Amino acid sequence: MSFRSPQVLSRRGFCICCAVAVGFSSNGGWLKPTQAFAEARNTVDAIRDAAATAPVRLHKLRGNVTVIEGSGGNIAVLTGADGKLFIDAGITVTRPRILEAVNSLSRDPIKHLINTHWHFDHTDGNQWLNEEGAAILAHENTHKHLLSAQRVEDWDFNFPTSPLAAVPTAVFSSEKTININHSTLNLKHYGPAHTDGDISITFAEADILHCGDTYWNAIYPFIDYSTGGNIDGMIKAAEANIAAAGSKTIVIPGHNLPGHASPVSNKAELMVFRDMLVAIRENVAKLKRQGHSLDEVVAAKPTAEFDARWGQFLITPAFFTKLVYEGV
Ligand SMILES: [Zn+2]
């Protein structure tokens, strides 16, 4: 989620930025689990509302690849004579601003869309992009989740079946290579990680890696157990991202802390993210093995040494502790 405005009010009157800040200033920086989980339930509304007001920002990377920030998950666009290719579709409400932004890059029609996974902040715009002319490609599990109603337990949110125009028409299971606009794109399924349908996309010539939501830069990541994600899979995906990146690779995270000059990242930061996941997983697993309840584990602050860097936005330390606890 890329919130550009300092205060974001949801339809339910929830201000996610303020709530996080308040949570940190009281009770030694911690919300009670019940408070934190109540916040999490408003995440979907908060993301939609943020996209409604957030500026859409373009960041040109290399080799005709540009990142669009401000419409849910980070979108990558490849321009060229074969037509524009989008990686992820963002939130529908930003359609006019995204069109204006990508028209400023080139006049190539929109022809291709790849979804990194099924979550609404990456696929909500599928329908309008399809109407513009994009054929949609995704992992077979992403296709499955978009074809039927989904419940995400940890967001306490039910998503309806997607309209047919929003459903991918081409799927793959393990790996796929495509050549578009003189670029070689390698698509690879991570296995269960953030969901069960996450894929990485590598632009070989430009040396750019889009990680989808297996990588959140400077934010604790969400893990969707309802559709097949788990903490150990997130750690495996982080390892795969590190292995796929070289010292010069531009790494696109699914989400990043807003307010930075650029949303992109690199291999060194991927390693810091992996180390954070591994350390917190071990801290939480040890406490759970000792027989502690979720509330007791949250109270023990197993993320404390990482909260200053990772726990300041969207996914609170208590909420992330719960997500790890579920999987160990
Ligand atoms: Zn996601």
Please, what is the average pLDDT of the chain? 88
| pLDDT recorded at residue 136 | 98
The rounded Å distance from CA 110 to ligand 1 centre is 23
* pLDDT above 50 (res 32): no
Note the pLDDT tens digit of each residue in 305-315: 999 999 988 89
The rounded Å distance from CA 299 to ligand 1 centre is 27
* pLDDT above 50 (res 145): yes
240 sits in which H/E element: helix 231-244
Average pLDDT value for residue range 274-298: 98
Residues linked to residue 159 through DSSP beta bridges, in sequence order? 150
Note the pLDDT tens digit of each residue in 1-26: 333 332 332 323 232 333 333 333 33
* pLDDT above 80 (res 62): yes
The rounded Å distance from CA 94 to ligand 1 centre is 18
| Per-residue CA distances from 104 to 21, 66, 201, 287 (Å) | 37, 11, 24, 53
What pLDDT band is residue 40 in, cutting at 50, 70 and 90? low
| pLDDT recorded at residue 8 | 32
| pLDDT recorded at residue 38 | 54
Note the pLDDT tens digit of each residue in 79-108: 999 999 999 999 999 999 999 999 999 999
The rounded Å distance from CA 222 to ligand 1 centre is 7
The rounded Å distance from CA 108 to ligand 1 centre is 28
The rounded Å distance from CA 100 to ligand 1 centre is 25
| pLDDT recorded at residue 52 | 80
* Torsion sign across C-alpha atoms 223, 227, 232, 238: negative
Cβ–Cβ contacts within 10 Å for residue 21, how many?
13
The rounded Å distance from CA 194 to ligand 1 centre is 7
Q: Give Cα 196 distance to the centre of its chain.
A: 14
The rounded Å distance from CA 119 to ligand 1 centre is 5
| pLDDT recorded at residue 7 | 30
What pLDDT band is residue 41 in, cutting at 50, 70 and 90? low
